[in-house]
Chain A
Amino acid sequence: MKHKRLLYFSIKRFKSTVSNMSTECIKEKSQEKTLTFTRNEQVTHIGIPCCIMHTRTGCIPHLTEETLDYLDKKLIQNIYQVPLPSVIDYQDILEAANTNTLECLCMPNTSVLYATVQDFSCLPPSGYNTNKTVAVWGAGGKISVTPQSYMKLVEVLKPDIFQVLADGDVLKAESRKRIIKSVNRSVQYLDECIKHHQQSKPLENSKMICMIEGGNNLEERKRCMKLMLEKLKGHEDCVWGFGIDALPREKYISEGTKTVIKLLNDELPAGKPLLVHGFGHPLNIIDLIEDGVSVFDSTYVTELSESNHALVYGIPSIDSSLSLLNGDAKTNCSIVDVDVRKFVETIDISDSCFSRSFAPLVENCPCYTCVNHTRAYIQHLTVVNEMLAPVLLMLHNFHHHLTFFSALRNELNACSNLKSFKQKLIALNSMH
């Protein structure tokens, strides 16, 4: 059941149909492979695999409503992630606004709001969590958050979905002891968050994302999942999905990480989406989808743009794939044989080799940046440290990344697996 998590349709639907969903069902209703959110009778459908827009304080880094508008509307999935560190200092403002969070944060009122404990594009310093608290770093410094104070803030935000408080501070090769601690704490936090959620009127329409901890230790991942599922018994309805927290930041995900994800995918209840943060490399995204993950975020775009990188890899679309197959591209190569180190996905645009390159970042890219500006100009902007450099990079990288996701959705709708798509992607982008 490799792709079973891609098979669920809408939150509403799956409550009644989880047990007897089948591949047949998916093919018939392929257009229904979406997440559905309902707020004030307004229904939002979001196709999967989906890319949540990463924000800080509700604002996509370096962009404004005006510049975000340059992006192709069809590519944007209307779901926004608001990390706690970017709003924790403004609880009083959010309360004083006397409106909903979207309005207070000047976001489009049709957006789906997702609250996260940390900002995955700039994770906090390690070593500040305790048995009772998680450290969150706001603009004014460290704030220790308990499950109670966390849930109170979530009540102020009233997001559509939110992460349950968890101790995910085990990114590096931590000791087994530290990982056990992180699991124990997170299970305890979950327990308290559920209790609070059960009694919370403001959160009656908000659903939880449980963050599975356990670091790189398979046994601990299993234990965490088992304990959390026990706590969740009888409360399944308030769970929207599961997040796999504290996965190592590797350029290419390792076999170890894949094993963890496969395990969770097999054991977690079907129909609830599996979500990861911070991943964006096209090969990783495909592998993660194949292992059952269906929800991603755009922190990759923010990170690349802030480090002067531009996405340049070719995206196989269903149409262009035909000519590729007929050509001499090595589409037969086995994925196992691929040397991923030869895969070129980005360029460092601040490199002086681009100073006389009067071509766009990507030839024929229809984004604002590529239509109007050259690599040489962006290179110049990075050298003189001008604020327009990350703006133009965000616009291009977003366009590129979201186009990739849209191509993935098309491919999955057409053939329900990504095997040939992946082969074409590799053939298109590997240096020989």
Chain B
Amino acid sequence: YGVMSMDVVARCSTTKARVGKLSLPHHVVDTPVFMPVGTQGTLKGLTTKQLEKIGIQIMLGNTYHLGNQPGEDILEEAGGLHQFMGWPRALLTDSGGFQMVSLLKLSELSEEGVQFEHPRDKSIMMLSPEKSIAIQNAIGADIIMQLDDVVSSTETDAKRFKEATRRSVRWLDRCISAHKRNGDQCLFPIIQGGLDESLRKECLHEMTSRVVPGFAIGGLSGGECKDDFWKMVTTSTDGLPEDKPRYLMGVGYAADLIVCVALGCDMFDCVFPTRTARFGCALVPTGQISLKNVSCSKDFTPIQEDCHCTTCKSYTKAYLYMLFRANHPSACHMVSVHNVMYQFNLMRSIREAIKNDSYPQFIKDYFLKLFKTPLSYPSWAVDSLNSVGVRLK
């Protein structure tokens, strides 16, 4: 797989955490990495120059949305999404399946693919593995995802999970043969298996026997109980090869990121940091600050004193309070810059801690700041970290 390589440059001697350099066609990405989500070829009003300045090395686009608008043809004519949106660094796209399940009415699921009915014009659309790959080939992201058979992680029918997992393996094979740009795009399978450990292991066995450049861990972060969540994550990383990146889909809260890095995951994405910015929520080491709250109205300090983002350099909480009260779009941009920077800095300090082999201490310090007292540590976090040798209490 010439288009991509992952060099593991440091390992934590206690946990499964590692630091890597992921060489992609458009950029070298330092892992563990958090990838901000730019659904429609843009990230919440931020310019690509701002994203580069923050240090973002890879971001996400959503296949379903981009396939709708501007559409496959225009993206192809533009020379791909990189050209279209003016983003020189790495991109990743999803298969489109998840969005279709959540936004459209599922009309029929068959071996051929997923059929949907459009809510407005009632037209029927078919998303097959081949179709998903064709759109993703037109978009041209550095990393693309297989189409999988998505089941809600709170689904209770075990038979449905078995069917979906086995179908996802068959669809992976179809995606691999449909993929036309092996030279400059990496196709990731998505490990399924719901919350059933043996089913996950079966899926891991099947998918790791294919020639693929990296793996996504799917079917989680859908509202399942956190005890099940971390067990499935750790089962998945245990079954994955050491020399390939592991992308845990849909994770973005600080505590979750810290735990899942310890469990051996390398890549994460989540709409949370930018979505929450829109509503005036700023991320800080102690959790979140709601800038619409009247307690900020006379606070003439920046969101975070030691933050080097352009927002914290120029603006105070009181000023952001005024802008949010007036529904000023610039306020969203200001907080988005800070939040994207916050996630970026978090991941950078995680990488530093792993390189210094002080990651367990980093976890302890961060948790104490975030939760204030060990009494408020969530039990799933305590248990999961315990499983990799970090005793929080």
Contacts and interface: CB of A to CB of B under 8 A. Distances in A.
A365 to B, nearest CB: 15
A61 interface: yes
A390 B329 contact: yes
Interface in B64-105: 65, 69-70, 74, 77-78, 84-86
A65 B328 contact: no
Max chain A Cβ within 10 angstroms of own Cβ: one of B41, B50, B316, B322? B322
A262 interface: no
B40 interface: yes
Interface in A336-392: 355-356, 358, 368, 372-374, 376-377, 380-381, 383-384, 386-388, 390-392
A307 to B, nearest CB: 14
A377 B85 contact: yes
Contacts of B300: 97, 99, 104
* Of listed B50, B326, B330, residue having the most chain A CB within 10 A: B330
A342 B157 CA distance: 68
A86 B45 contact: no
Contact of B77 (A64, A70, A358, A386): A358
Contacts of B351: none
Interface in A61-106: 61-67, 70, 86-87, 89-90, 92-93, 96-97, 99, 104-106
Contact of A62 (B84, B315, B329): B329
Contacts of A329: none
Contact of B330 (A64, A87, A392): A64
Nearest to A358: B78
B84 A391 contact: no
A139 interface: yes
B325 to A, nearest CB: 5
Interface string B273-299: 000000000000000000000000110
B16 interface: no
Given A59-B328, A355-B74, A391-B333, A372 B86 contact: yes
A228 to B, nearest CB: 32
Nearest to B326: A139
A377 B298 contact: no
Given A93-B322, A358-B78, A384-B40, A377 B84 contact: yes
A174 to B, nearest CB: 30
Given A97-B318, A387-B45, 8 more contacts: A58-B319, A63-B330, A92-B297, A93-B298, A376-B84, A383-B69, A388-B46, A391-B47
Closest 3 CB pairs of A and B: A387-B45, A66-B310, A388-B42
23 contacts: A56-B326, A56-B328, A57-B322, A58-B319, A59-B323, A60-B330, A61-B328, A64-B311, A64-B314, A65-B315, A99-B300, A104-B318, A106-B316, A139-B326, A139-B327, A355-B70, A358-B77, A372-B48, A372-B49, A380-B74, A384-B69, A391-B45, A391-B333
